Amino acid sequence: MVSIDGALLDFKQLERLAAGDSVLHRLDPRAKVLATLAFIVSVVSYGRYELSALIPFFIFPAVLIGAADLPAGYLLKKIALVCPFALLVGIGNPVFDRAVLMQLGPLEISGGWISLASIVVRAALTVSAALILVALTGFPAICRALERLGMPAPFAVQLLFLYRYIFVLTEEGTRASSARELRSCGKKGRGMASYASLLGHLLLRTWQRAERIHMAMLARGFSGVFHSRTKWHFGPAELFYLVGWSALFLALRLCNGSELVGALVTGVFR
């Protein structure tokens, strides 16, 4: 985590994107959740040495970013931040897997490098799909969609509660942390003892907050369900969106688009 403030700001910006008003924003969240899942499953279902067949899948994030007018630079930065974690485990591949799989003139490329590249491409695809889903839909709508799709109600309430208080408590934690930072001198004062009491105090305040919330809930007659004014409707547009993307993913999964294009083009120019 770079800094708490930065992370929080990032978080809020992603959520702000969900307030946009494009055709894609207005779709029923269930269609978006299901299409994203279909996308991730198709990408992940490839074998480890698959690289060229994965490339056509970039059409999904590219079209969504374009059509919903999302800030591409911001999303790319977020994706680039996450890729190193996937690289960390994949970096062993070129060392352990030296069988030559591909030959470009004198250059021999081993299976390890190809599978490493494949991991990076997968990471970029899956991460961008998840981020775009949030940026198009927003967290509360995703929760409601999942609940409609069969997620247990207590878990949905838990997610919505968590989401409601995550900003409040992260800001409280940030204040406590920067207060400690200001009082500590170098490493002194940032050790275990002050950390434990900081967390302990945060925990106690959290608990008291929960008790106050509970009283407020009782006063307002909370019945365990969050009500929402928006009515969702799974209409023809949603069906088109879901079936269209799924069909495309299936087609791409069955036939390597990159090789097809490549064969056509190199054929033309020869």
Partner 1 sequence: MHMADALMSAEVGAAMWAVSAGTIACCSARLGRGVDDRRVPLMGVLGAFLFAAQMINFSIPGTGSSGHLGGGLLLAILLGPGAALLTIASVLVVQALFFADGGLLALGCNIFNVGVIPALIVYPFCYRTLIGNDPSPQRLTLATMISAVLALQLGSFAVVLETLGSGMSSLPFAPFAWLMQPIHLAIGLVEGAVTVAVVSFVRKARPDLLPAGTAAHARRSPARLLVACLACALLTAGAFSGLASRHPDGLEWSIAKVTGKPELSPVQKGVHGAMAAIQGATAWFPEYDFKRPAASVAPLHQSPVTREQVGNLGTSIAGITGTVLTLLFACALGLLLKRRNQ
Instruction: Tell me: does residue 131 bind partner 1 (CB under 8 A).
Output: yes
CA 56 and chain centroid, separation: 20
Nearer to partner 1, 28 or 233 (CB): 28
Only one of the segments 158-166, 225-233, 235-243 lies at the binding site for partner 1 (rule: CB under 8 A); that segment is 158-166
Q: How far is the CB of 77 from partner 1 (least distance, A)?
A: 12
Q: How far is the CB of 229 from partner 1 (least distance, A)?
A: 21
Q: How far is the CB of 222 from partner 1 (least distance, A)?
A: 8
Alpha carbons 96 and 91: distance in angstroms, whole number? 10
> In sequence order, what are the residues at sequence separation of 6 or more whose Cβ sits closer than 8 angstroms to the Cβ of residue 253?
42, 45, 46, 53
Interacting residues with partner 1 between 46 and 105 (CB under 8 A): 47-53, 55-56, 58-59, 61-63, 65-67, 69, 72, 78-79, 82, 85-86, 89-90, 92-93, 96-104
Count of C-beta atoms within a 10 Å radius of residue 129 = 20
| Contact by Cβ (8 Å): 189, 197 | no
Q: How far is the CB of 144 from partner 1 (least distance, A)?
A: 14
3-state secondary structure of 162: helix
The single residue among 9, 16, 45, 243 that binds partner 1, judged by CB under 8 A, is: 45
The encoded tokens of residue 51 equal: 């690289």
| Continuous segment of H or E residues that includes residue 109 | strand 107-110
The single residue among 44, 76, 179, 243 that binds partner 1, judged by CB under 8 A, is: 44
Q: Which residue has the tokens 């990408």?
A: 43
Interacting residues with partner 1 between 178 and 207 (CB under 8 A): 187, 190-200, 202-204, 206-207
